Amino acid sequence: MSDVQGVARRDRSTSSLPLAPENSQVFGPPSIVPITKPNASSSHSGITSDQEGTTPGSGTVLSESSETLSVPATGPFDFGKTLRTIMKKYVLASVLRDRAGIQSRELGVMFKDLRVVGLGAATSYQPTIGSFFNPRVIIQNIQALRRPPLRNILSGFEGVVRPGEMLLVLGNPGSGCSTLLKTLTNQRAEYHLVEGEVHYDSLTPEHIAKHYRGDVVYTSEDDTHFPTLTVDETIRFAAKMRAPHNRFEGYPRSYYVKNITDITQTTLGLRHVKNTPVGDAAISGVSGGEKKRVSISEALTLRSSITAWDNSTRGLDASTALEFVRALRTAADVARISTIVSIYQAAESLYQHFDKVCVIYEGRMAYFGRADQARQYFIDLGFEPAHRQTTSDFLAAVTDPLARTVREDFKRPVPQTAAEFASAFLASGASVANRMDMDAYLKEFVGHPERALAYKQSAMAEHATTQCKESPYTISIPMQARVVMLRRLQILRGHIAAEVIIIIAFIVQAFVSGSVFFRLKDETAQFFSRGSILFFALVWTALSAMAEIPALFVQRPIVVKHARAAMYHPFIEAAALTIVDVPITFVTIMIFSIILYFMVGLQSTVSQFFTFFLFVCTMALVMKAMFRCVAAAVGDPAPAQTLGGLVQLILVLYTGYTIPKPSMIGALRWITFINPIRYGFEGLISNEFHTLDGACSNLVPSGTGYENVSLANQVCGTVGSIPGQSTVDGNRFISLSYDYSYSHLWRNYGILVGFGIAFVAALLFFTEYNTRLSGETNVILFKRGAKAPVLRGSQEKAGAVDEEKGAPELRDVIEETRGESGTDVAVPMMSDVFTWRHLEYDVHLGKGETRRLLEDVSGYVAPGKLTALMGESGAGKTTLLNVLAERQAAGVVGGERLVNGFPLPSDFQAQTGYVQQMDTHLAQTTVREALLFSAKLRQPPTVPLKEKEAYIDTVLKMCGLEKYADAIVGSLDVEHRKRTTIGVELAAKPKLLLFLDEPTSGLDSRSAWAIVSFLRELADRGQAILCTIHQPSAELFQEFDRLLLLRKGGQTVYFGDIGTNATTLLDYFQKNGGYPCPPDANPAEYILDVIGAGATATTDTDWHGTWKSSPQAKAVDDKLATLLEDGRKRHAVDTEQHSEFSTSWIFQVKTLWERDIIRHWRDPTYVMAKIALNLVGALLIGFTFFQAKDSIQGTQNKIFAMFICMILSAPLSNQIQGPFIETRWVYEIRERPSRIYSWTALVTAQILGELPLNIIGSSLFFVIWYWLVGFPSSRAGYPYLMVGIMYPMYYTTFAQWVAAMSPTAEIAAQLFGFFFGFVITFNGVFQPYKHLGWWKWMYRLSPYTYVIEGVLARAIGRSEINCAPIEFVTVRPPLAQTCQQYLSKFISTTGGYVTNPNATDNCQFCSYRTTDEFLQFNSNIFWNHQWRDFGFMWIYIGFNVFAVFAMTYIFRIRGPANFFFRRRS
């Protein structure tokens, strides 16, 4: 280790940095990485010594194969040797670089008088439904749009980062660290204004943004990846996108990609998981620390000249974090990369690798200069570091009034505020040195056109030959497309279950629809049925395509991240998605078409079948492109779903099927011309009817008494008939009915293709330019009516607020809060000892294989003691914590888990608290509400509510959250969210134990200290605490009493006391073969290094075997035996909670329902999107069928007006499913393992919470729709009961039971479309009841049958029909008979009327006289079924409710992600 540190710790002053080592980099911008060319005779690949070649100038040419960098496929990787060898290879690389014809390039950044201004206040009120309609709030919002409040985020920054330098940025959360990193890497879009000078050598920020964006990269702390891609596929993709064109002669791109991928994976310890999916919340994959390393590896392969890393060590253990920084140091030294890093809790070994440090205090620059002089600068300023306090912790602490310590011997005043710190620095020698460095940089690098030209030429040399040389992208657009298309195929392969579901849905739907319309006859009675099945084929593709909306929002953050790193154009991803989808859609639609077409018995000529297939397949692609375009154009999922639903509604309405074009009102008829489905429908109809000559099924008159009537005295009652003919020409029928013509067939297809091209072009455009992300806000929100001083201060001084830190008053409140957290408050005393002996844990891998994750682990946690659980990433820390807390999801547990020597009580989970690493809360609740929710449901019901509320005040004070009691949890910073998570567990008054999983991960040193100090206070008051922890500083580590240390494989390395200054722990390792711990070293880092923890570290000592044979292990066994013996003298812990949950089921439902209602109240976007969809839908349908007449077509229009209402439930249901799954996710992650409440109570509350909103929305819909269509006011009562109440109750519960069986919103949308197809197919509108044949039982099973029948029977039943002129048929009676005489018998049998009963020629006959005749004959609707239908709807709603519970139990409770939704492992 010392040798490696020696390489890294050499003098890195500006003047001593080497200038030559540009091109032997492992990761670096400017040129190439030496690559091992495959050689069959090669027995070793690696970095070799200088046996071949000499330095330049010796006259000897170096061999290309002499010095290469590669990684062994198996075996250990000597990271230290690699670092040292790389440093020696730069001379060789220079020669090889020149041979390859590549000019190296480097880039620094200089900034002066830098000021960043943001929009809005740092704190505000949470928007609600009430505020949405509040006139005062509306006026304030309008004023804010006209004159938005501005706030300084950064002010007065100046400095320089030269090529090869590493800058460490330190500051407390919200001080402006992220803003500085984004600004220096030219990420300016999210800020209102950036002022001051910023120079990238001789390039301007505009040049960088336009031409060299990929050379200046910002890496955020969030890990956003495609979850179904493997680790290797993710990293390899990044390497491909930035692979330079000019490489060593004979070395193809594929070897470059392989080498750099292998190196990054090995350096960061990812080789063992290279074929494992990255994973996310729904798909299991690599661990959190490994996912962070994937993000780091991806960024390292980009070879940027300036790279900013924002808290990238979050989630890494100390050893892996050190190796990451060492890799950055090497890249900076060798590749001359300018590196800017923001790290929380930076260990001293990390800090020593940096050249410069910038300390930020509330948006002001407190220090910028050499890192090795910063500590002394602040000591000279009057501050004193604590014992064993790392330099980075000390520098951050001086900006915290409660954390800094003034030297006792310091007599002069010390700075107190951010402004005073900034002024003190400007007056210091460090500032003078900084400005001299800036002046030297300006003179040397800035304003030199030849440098800009050289940089341009170097970048151009790396570009692909077909790529525009001015482009920021390295490879050409066709190359980008190939790589991205390959990635899209890999994503589909990893997510194959979803694709299988879609194909199965199409196949099943084809069989079902085909059997419904099975073997249609060539007769006029089934003309309508033919139109229905053709229309359904198109509508089904549109319904299925709506699932594209949530899918695109899931991937948008990943695409935006890649685009900002100049990996590929965003539109390439959209194009790849479209292209890859073509063959999948082709196959799916081909299967669908073959089944449907031939089952229905459509015109069986080859040309007509392939025309049908061509139109349906093209329509499917057009619809997908259209809905993807909607998602790409809109910033948030909820409005996108609303817009998508309205677009779908318009397309269905104005196809020309539900209401023929001649019947449309003139003001809206133009919509048909911009409706792609209309052209597809005309194409299908004209293709089908062109060769159809239908035999008349309804000759007038016919039947008894008309057997011998000649055809001259009969006429067909179908539109398009000609007197005296027994058949109806299909072309004439579609011309008169729809105004369609076969001559338009290929014109229509051309227009359809044109729409597809337009939608794809729009999709590419919006994807490329609309890169806004809907994410978390930086504004801390408070509930309406809150009087928090933070809120008042921020509103009063919005102009001086930092986007990240908030107002000065906000910092004051945090300080006050932190100080008050130590107030002496009561904590339930604990006396029981939790022990575990010889614990083992095996999981099944399939095919009879098992893996042991924990092996022979023993230990105990005593009251009043704070026990740390440590180990490298993958050692099994969280696994052990889950097993001890009885939260493991699967596997076999061996060994003993005891309390006082007795088996765990049945309510062990209820008597313990478990603070997860992930802060999982319902985002819309306040801190107090979250804590009170936990207390109300987890404390015994015998405790009065007032006592619980009083205890919550106590917990708020303990957690330092009093001033944030009314803050919305989803808007809090990381520290306060973590405090809230701890508070939620404390609110339950855990009696036995408190488990915590990495409570300091992602926090800055001050926040981590505050959390650990808080835990120390709890332990001192008698709480028993077991806590996993990453990267603890020496100060934090000293707060713990005991340590359980694991190595990979879940094996114990040490368990016992830490001792004062960690002496007990250090003595153990030093006596058993560990090297002496340096006096200034962090003991936590020391022990991890000794046992060989880390991505690439190794050790020769078997520390697990050493532990098992040590006296300390025997002492632990003896202690356990004593504890068990003493415990058994007492008594077993009583089971306090004899039922599964603490409170009654009714109380759980009530509490959950209240939470759900509050959540909806505080989510106006969701609620207003729902209301808007109902209102706009009502207006569209209402005006489309405006004041429908009492003719036959008018009556048919009213039927379709009702039917389209049912279609609207599809987008409304899609809106419901997202929040349903999000709430369930909170339950499954945190609330279910804690046994807070029953899953049945959650489901009940979700149903009851959603119903009021949907009933209100449907009521508003009804009020507009009913009277616009022209239904009679006197009959409105029953229709409102069905449409305004029963209908929303049905689709709400329908959507929820589909969501209950779905792991994600995307799959829920696909499944809902599949099931919804059944609901709308069998209600008698698409296919009349009399033609359903075998499927008549499904007609009776379809719930919408009864909604439509009930509403239409009451609204239009028992009314007269008055035919329009086109609806009359002309009948010629026999000689000497009047129309009345000739047709009276026919009318008495079938209904209808004649307008000229006394005429003897040209009888004008209308087929229907009353609506009852029409409804009964065509739709099987009867007046006297109304209340029967109402009763049936209750049965269906009841079934849906049952299904919600059943699906939740089957798919989520009995076993998460069962059946084909099983997670990948």
Q: Of 858, 833, 850, nearest to 1050 (Cα)?
A: 858
Residue 650 near residue 1178 (C-beta atoms within 8 A): no
Tell me which DSSP letter residue 1254 carries: H
Task: Classify residue 413 by burial, with Cβ atoms within 10 Å: 0-12, 13-18, 19+.
Answer: exposed
* φ, ψ dihedrals at 898, nearest 5°: -135, 155
**d(C-alpha 665, C-alpha 646), whole Å:** 19
Residue 546 near residue 646 (C-beta atoms within 8 A): no
**d(C-alpha 522, C-alpha 544), whole Å:** 30
> pLDDT at position 318, please?
73
**d(C-alpha 371, C-alpha 359), whole Å:** 10
Look up tokens 């040397």; give the residue: 444
**d(C-alpha 122, C-alpha 176), whole Å:** 13
**d(C-alpha 1432, C-alpha 1437), whole Å:** 9
User: What DSSP letter does each residue of 399-427 carry, written as one string?
Assistant: TSTTT--B-TT--SPPP-SHHHHHHHHHT
Reading the block at residue 1442, the tokens are 């049952």
User: What DSSP letter does each residue of 616-632 carry, written as one string?
Assistant: HHHHHHHHHHHHHHHHH
Sheet holding 1369-1371, edge to edge: 1369-1371, 1403-1406, 1393-1394
> Between the CA of residue 990 and those of 983, 1016, 1448, what are the distances in Å?
11, 16, 29
Residue 359 near residue 395 (C-beta atoms within 8 A): yes
Residue 1179 near residue 612 (C-beta atoms within 8 A): no
Close Cβ partners of 1221 (under 8 Å, ≥ 6 residues apart): 1299, 1302, 1304, 1305, 1308
What is the three-state SS of 89-131?
CHHHHHHHHHHHCCCCCCCCEEEEEEEEEEECCCEEECCCHHH
Residue 1339 near residue 1433 (C-beta atoms within 8 A): no
**Which residues does residue 119 pair with via DSSP β-bridges, in sequence order?**
150
Q: One-letter amino acid identity for 266?
A: T
- Rounded to a whole number of angstroms, the distance between the first and last alpha carbons of the chain is 35
- Alpha helix segments (H runs only) across 770-924: 789-796, 808-820, 877-884
> pLDDT at position 263, please?
82
Q: What angle do CA 346, 180, 961 make, to 5 degrees?
A: 65
Residue 517 near residue 688 (C-beta atoms within 8 A): no
**d(C-alpha 1194, C-alpha 615), whole Å:** 30
- Alpha helix segments (H runs only) across 268-315: 288-300
Residue 1216: strand, helix, or coil? helix
Reading the block at residue 349, the tokens are 């070994």
Residue 362: strand, helix, or coil? coil
Q: Of 1242, 126, 59, nearest to 788 (Cα)?
A: 126
Reading the block at residue 1318, the tokens are 């059944």
* φ, ψ dihedrals at 35, nearest 5°: -130, 140
Residue 897 near residue 861 (C-beta atoms within 8 A): no
Residue 37 near residue 258 (C-beta atoms within 8 A): no
Residue 546 near residue 1214 (C-beta atoms within 8 A): yes
Peptide bond into 903 cis (omega under 30): no
Taking the CB of residue 1391, how many other CB atoms lie within 10 A of it? 18
Reading the block at residue 56, the tokens are 């330049």
Residue 1046 near residue 1053 (C-beta atoms within 8 A): yes
What is the three-state SS of 469-506?
CCCCCCCCHHHHHHHHHHHHHHHHHHCHHHHHHHHHHH
pLDDT-flagged residues of the chain (< 50)? 1-70, 73-75, 83, 86-91, 94, 775-777, 795-825, 1456-1465
H or E element, residue 593: helix 570-600
Residue 759 near residue 626 (C-beta atoms within 8 A): yes
Sign (positive/negative) of CA torsion 535, 539, 540, 545? positive
CB burial of 1227-1247 (b: ≥16 within 10 Å; e: otherwise) equals: bbebbbbbbbbbbbbbbbbbb
Residue 841: strand, helix, or coil? strand
**d(C-alpha 732, C-alpha 721), whole Å:** 8
Q: Of 395, 373, 366, 367, nearest to 383 (Cα)?
A: 395
Residue 1295: strand, helix, or coil? helix
Residue 1342 near residue 1318 (C-beta atoms within 8 A): yes
> pLDDT at position 100, please?
52
> pLDDT at position 902, please?
87
Task: Classify residue 380 by burial, with Cβ atoms within 10 Å: 0-12, 13-18, 19+.
Answer: middle
